[in-house]
């Protein structure tokens, strides 16, 4: 079952073509770094893809890079975010697109987000967008103003269904901002470069030099790579009332479909109970967490603890708790032993009962918090160590926490400490207790602790607690 925002209900998911799923997720606008709020949405999409794969589907995942046309205002009056970003940084729009795209790809990898099958730039698909607008124009859904070609939403009685928009209320409330638009919900398909201004990013078109509106790129690329009607389209909750509403409108005008069978949205990451936003100036990057000593996967763990359809308020305490949870889970899984010495070539099979319960949780509209709780139940339960480990590594195909690859960092023991420890072990062997105690004190003074064990000893660095 997946929650479809178009139907506003949980629906049983069946792919349109047996065995294969087409998934389109709106990607980053690369005028700045992505913040961890953006990554909450990308993490949700990664989890969705993994859950679909868990169920045996082959997923074709398409994600766009918005590198032109996303304006600072949803009313199509603002400036292009790319040109604004270029001014802010003193680089060209093309340079910042490259810089922030690379940084986005690095952060995706640091969060164990799988690379999409297709990662496509809007600026590489200008002809497709022009063809898209040309078709809509032929079908009679466009009109021209002095600054661009607009989509006429009043020709669609169903316009705004995804968001359950109250069109009459919107019209009455915002009459002043209308400008040359016929209706407040109309949106730009193609914007003209301002007379006398040379934009860094502009193209020739049948309507004049300019650039595509932001909404066109996603529908044009989705149709190119996934067809006119595919399985699932995703984004953050802010996409419901404008971007995805307009994608559906223009696709209906072009080919008569609502583009995707399921429309799914991740709810916001908040910071101090307000939306974390790039445009608001202050925001946390993944690098900001790393700079404070956090493992990026602690953020992934944090996102697993909240359902994607609830907003999540970011606090450092919550991240601390997630980092601890991740550490304990890693440590617990590691302590179960390694394949090879303890378990032969592998650990055996995952426990069938737990696997079934886990599948039920993740197929219940991605209930990752409960799936995670199940992992803890397995770790603390009474299964054989090998079965526990196999079960948890199986679960990690969804969690993506890299549990199988993790091992505690072993610190190399300095030569003088090793020599003192060997001397103390020898003293104990020959029952010279005073000498053994003296050597232990010397080892401790150097910052190490020597633990005697039945089969020898272990050395650990004495950690000074920060609390």
Alpha helix ranges (H) inside 316-384: 316-335, 352-362, 368-380
Using the rule CB under 5 A, give the single segment among 23-31, 116-124, 263-271, 403-411 that binds Zn ion: 23-31
| Number of residues counted as binding ligand AMP (CB under 6 A) | 18
- Partners of residue 121 on adjacent β-strands: 65
Among 13, 22, 29, 151, binds ligand AMP (CB under 6 A): 29
Among 149, 269, 401, 421, binds ligand AMP (CB under 6 A): 269
- Does the footprint of ligand AMP cover residue 218 (CB under 6 A)? no
CB 109 → Zn ion: shortest distance, Å? Answer: 22
* Chain centroid offset of residue 346 CA: 31
* CA–CA separation, 104 and 39 (whole Å): 9
- Does the footprint of Zn ion cover residue 113 (CB under 5 A)? no
Cα angle, residue 251 at apex, residues 250 and 256 outer, rounded to 5°:
120
Q: Which of ligand AMP, Zn ion, none binds 427 (CB below 5-8 Å, type-dependent)?
A: none
Indicate the residue among 65 and 375 with the shorter CB distance to ligand AMP: 65
* CA–CA separation, 338 and 70 (whole Å): 50
- Does the footprint of ligand AMP cover residue 64 (CB under 6 A)? no
Q: Under DSSP, is residue 71 helix (H, G, I), strand (E, B) or coil?
A: strand
CB 235 → Zn ion: shortest distance, Å? Answer: 6
Smallest CA-to-CA distance from 191 within 30, 32, 68, 27 is with 68
Is 140 within 8 Å of 155 (Cβ atoms)? yes
Indicate the residue among 233 and 254 with the shorter CB distance to ligand AMP: 233
Let me know how long the chain is: 467
Using the rule CB under 5 A, give the single segment among 93-101, 218-226, 308-316, 394-402 that binds Zn ion: 218-226
Q: Under DSSP, is residue 347 helix (H, G, I), strand (E, B) or coil?
A: coil
Indicate the residue among 111 and 218 with the shorter CB distance to Zn ion: 218
Indicate the residue among 59 and 63 with the shorter CB distance to ligand AMP: 63
CB 116 → ligand AMP: shortest distance, Å? Answer: 13
Annotate each residue in 275-314 with x if it binds ligand AMP (CB under 6 A) or - if it does not, as one string: xxx-------------------------------------
- Partners of residue 301 on adjacent β-strands: none
- Does the footprint of Zn ion cover residue 234 (CB under 5 A)? no
Among 2, 26, 266, 390, binds Zn ion (CB under 5 A): 26
User: With b meaning 16 or more CB within 10 Å and e meaning fewer, what string describes 48-73?
Assistant: bbbbbbbeebebbbbbbbbbbbbbee
Among 66, 245, 387, 391, binds ligand AMP (CB under 6 A): 66
CB 312 → Zn ion: shortest distance, Å? Answer: 22
- Does the footprint of ligand AMP cover residue 41 (CB under 6 A)? yes
CB 145 → ligand AMP: shortest distance, Å? Answer: 25
- Partners of residue 274 on adjacent β-strands: 271
* CA–CA separation, 172 and 178 (whole Å): 11
Smallest CA-to-CA distance from 384 within 408, 422, 419, 349 is with 349
* CA–CA separation, 46 and 399 (whole Å): 10
Please state at what angle helix 368-380 crosses helix 352-362, rounded to 10 degrees.
160
* CA–CA separation, 433 and 429 (whole Å): 9
- Does the footprint of Zn ion cover residue 383 (CB under 5 A)? no
Q: Which of ligand AMP, Zn ion, none binds 236 (CB below 5-8 Å, type-dependent)?
A: ligand AMP
CB 14 → ligand AMP: shortest distance, Å? Answer: 25
* CA–CA separation, 46 and 62 (whole Å): 12
Cα angle, residue 288 at apex, residues 373 and 275 outer, rounded to 5°:
70
- Does the footprint of ligand AMP cover residue 49 (CB under 6 A)? no
- Which residues here bind Zn ion, judged by CB under 5 A? 26, 218
- Which residues here bind ligand AMP, judged by CB under 6 A? 26, 28-29, 37-38, 40-41, 66, 235-236, 238-239, 266, 268-269, 275-277
């Amino acid at each position: 079952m997946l929650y479809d925002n178009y139907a506003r209900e949980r629906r049983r998911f069946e792919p349109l073509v047996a065995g294969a799923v087409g998934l389109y997720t709106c990607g980053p606008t690369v005028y700045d770094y992505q913040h961890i709020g953006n990554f909450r949405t990308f993490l949700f999409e990664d989890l969705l893809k993994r859950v679909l794969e868990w169920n045996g589907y082959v997923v074709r995942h398409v994600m766009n890079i918005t590198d032109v046309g996303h304006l600072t205002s949803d009313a199509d009056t603002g400036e292009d975010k790319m040109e604004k970003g270029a001014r802010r940084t003193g680089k060209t729009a093309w340079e910042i697109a490259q810089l922030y795209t690379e940084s986005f790809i690095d952060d995706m990898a640091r969060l164990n987000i799988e690379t999409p099958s297709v990662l496509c730039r809007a600026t590489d698909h200008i002809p497709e967008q022009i063809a898209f607008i040309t078709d809509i124009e032929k079908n009679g859904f466009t009109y021209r103003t002095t600054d661009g070609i607009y989509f006429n939403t009043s020709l669609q009685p169903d316009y705004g269904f995804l968001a359950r928009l109250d069109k009459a209320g919107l019209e009455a409330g915002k009459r002043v901002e209308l400008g040359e638009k016929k209706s407040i919900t109309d949106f730009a398909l193609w914007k003209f470069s301002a007379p006398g201004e040379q934009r860094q990013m502009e193209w020739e078109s049948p309507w004049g030099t300019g650039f595509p509106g932001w909404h066109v790129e996603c529908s044009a690329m989705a149709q190119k790579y996934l067809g006119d009607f595919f399985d699932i389209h995703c984004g953050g909750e802010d996409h419901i009332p404008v971007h995805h509403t307009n994608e559906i409108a223009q696709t209906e005008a072009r080919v008569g479909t609502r583009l995707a069978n399921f429309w799914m949205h991740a709810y916001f990451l908040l910071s101090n109970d307000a939306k974390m936003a790039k445009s608001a100036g202050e925001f946390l990057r993944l690098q900001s967490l790393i700079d404070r000593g956090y493992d990026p996967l602690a953020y992934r763990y944090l996102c697993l603890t909240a359902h994607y359809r609830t907003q999540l308020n970011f606090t450092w305490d919550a991240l601390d708790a997630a980092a601890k949870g991740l550490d304990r889970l890693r440590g617990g899984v590691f302590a179960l032993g390694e394949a090879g010495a303890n378990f032969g070539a592998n650990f055996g099979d995952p426990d069938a009962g737990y696997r079934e319960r886990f599948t039920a949780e993740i197929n219940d509209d991605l209930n990752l918090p409960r799936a995670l709780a199940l992992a803890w139940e397995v770790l603390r339960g009474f299964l054989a160590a090998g079965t526990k480990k196999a079960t948890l590594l199986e679960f990690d195909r969804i969690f993506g926490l890299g549990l199988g690859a993790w091992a505690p960092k072993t610190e190399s023991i300095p030569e003088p400490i090793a020599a003192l420890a060997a001397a103390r072990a020898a003293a104990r062997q020959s029952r010279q207790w005073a000498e053994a105690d003296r050597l232990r004190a010397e080892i401790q003074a150097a910052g190490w602790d020597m633990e005697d064990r039945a089969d020898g000893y272990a050395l650990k660095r004495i950690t000074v607690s920060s609390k």
